[in-house]
Amino acid sequence: MSQDHAKISFDLFGASDVEQFLVPRDGETKIGEKIATYDSTRWKSAKYVVLGVEESVGPRANLGRGGAEHAFKAFLSKFLNMQSNSFFDASKVAVLGRVRVVSEEKTLIDSVESLDAFIEETISDHLRSGQIPILLGGGHNNAFPLIKYLSKQNDNRINVVNLDAHADYRLLEGRHSGNSFSYAYNQGFLNHYTVFGLHYQYNSQQIFDDLKRDGHTYTLHESYINEERNYFEDFKKYLDESNVNIPLGIELDLDSIERMPSSAFTPVGMTMSQALRYLRTMAKHKKVGYLHLPEGAPNNDDEYIVVGKTLAYLVTDFIRAHWNAGKA
């Protein structure tokens, strides 16, 4: 099932769309066999709704590499074949579908601006109150429509936390993957922004100055390398001191993870275990509004496996931690 909107398409997933990725096995119950789709009776009771974005216009408009359009399929092939068991009940999860940039507009910036509006509209039209969107694939440009959606749903500015080598707080020079948070703040959707693990030489002085000017906070990856700070302590401190009355958007850019195939590959970054710990911590916030995992950019078979399994681990860990925190 699909509907077209200018040069962007939305494909709503049914059971047959999930089955094409599923490899069933006797004696096992896979996530893909339990997950809800929009045409199922369990859709309304799902707490977590997965939406894929297949595009690289945002990263390329920010002078990054392509490949982010492949991350969602890589994720589905691994996630749907994970086990649904006593540690992870897939009946709490639904997959909505995918948004695709079918053809580009005159400029990449024009394409990103159209995509912003399309993603916000898609989420607003299909999610029910209380459901948490999990957006996968594409560039970090898609943080902007997520922030706008959550802000409008709550009729107020929201807080956002991000694990990232780059602040994505560049100038308001037309939309791309490097300025979602500066645009969100400028347009009145973002309240306070905290980003962990910025790299010294991959954030301009303008970015550091503007973050300070607008009252946002950040830490530097180099301070963790030098053992001046501890990631786990900082994650916990953020959670303990955060305002539980303001909805929180959770961001994790895959280019923050060392040697991850991404739109801005880095040989220096945090480990997968640190990234998982970040999500497990932030998932305990009382008002989680969304999870966003952008910038995975696989371009060959080996990279598909790495990105797919990485996203599958991140999503299952987040859901398990958030669900268990809600039961406590």
Q: Report pLDDT digits (tens) over 88-117.
A: 989 999 999 999 999 999 999 999 999 999
Note whether 165 and 219 are within 8 A (CB). Answer: no
Instruction: Pick the closest to residue 75 from 285, 250, 237, 294 (CA basis).
Output: 294
Mean pLDDT of all residues in 58-72: 96
> Which regions of the chain does DSSP assign to beta strands (E)?
2-5, 8-12, 36-37, 48-54, 93-101, 132-136, 158-163, 190-198, 217-220, 248-252, 288-293
CA distances to 81, 83, 85, 174, 187 from 28, in Å: 10, 7, 9, 49, 49
Q: What is the pLDDT of residue 125?
A: 96
The tens digit of pLDDT for each residue in 146-177 reads: 999 999 999 999 999 999 999 999 999 999 99
Quickly list DSSP for 41-66.
Answer: TTGGG-SEEEEEEE--HHHHHTT--S
Beta bridge partners of 292: 135, 251
Given the structure tokens 């859709």, which residue do they identify? 43
State yes or no: pLDDT of 2 exceeds 80. no
State yes or no: pLDDT of 1 exceeds 50. no
Domain that includes residue 106, residue range: 2-327
- pTM of full prediction above 0.85: yes
Mean pLDDT of all residues in 287-297: 98
State percent of the chain over pLDDT 70.
Answer: 98
State yes or no: pLDDT of 3 exceeds 70. no
Instruction: Pick the closest to residue 69 from 221, 177, 196, 182 (CA basis).
Output: 177
State yes or no: pLDDT of 328 exceeds 60. no
Q: What is the DSSP letter of 68?
A: G
pLDDT, the chain, mean: 95
Q: How many domains does the chain have?
A: 1
Q: What is the CATH number of the domain that holds 8?
A: 3.40.800.10
Under the banding of pLDDT at 50, 70 and 90, the label for residue 326 is confident
Instruction: Pick the closest to residue 203 from 173, 230, 165, 171 (CA basis).
Output: 165
Q: For residue 315, report the phi and psi dihedrals to the nearest 5 degrees.
A: -70, -45
From CA 104, how far away is CA 101, in angstroms rounded?
7
Mean pLDDT of all residues in 210-218: 98
From CA 142, how far away is CA 167, in angstroms rounded?
14
Encoded amino acid at 284, one letter: K
Mean pLDDT of all residues in 281-292: 98
Mean pLDDT of all residues in 289-318: 97
The tens digit of pLDDT for each residue in 112-146 reads: 999 999 999 999 999 999 999 999 999 999 999 99
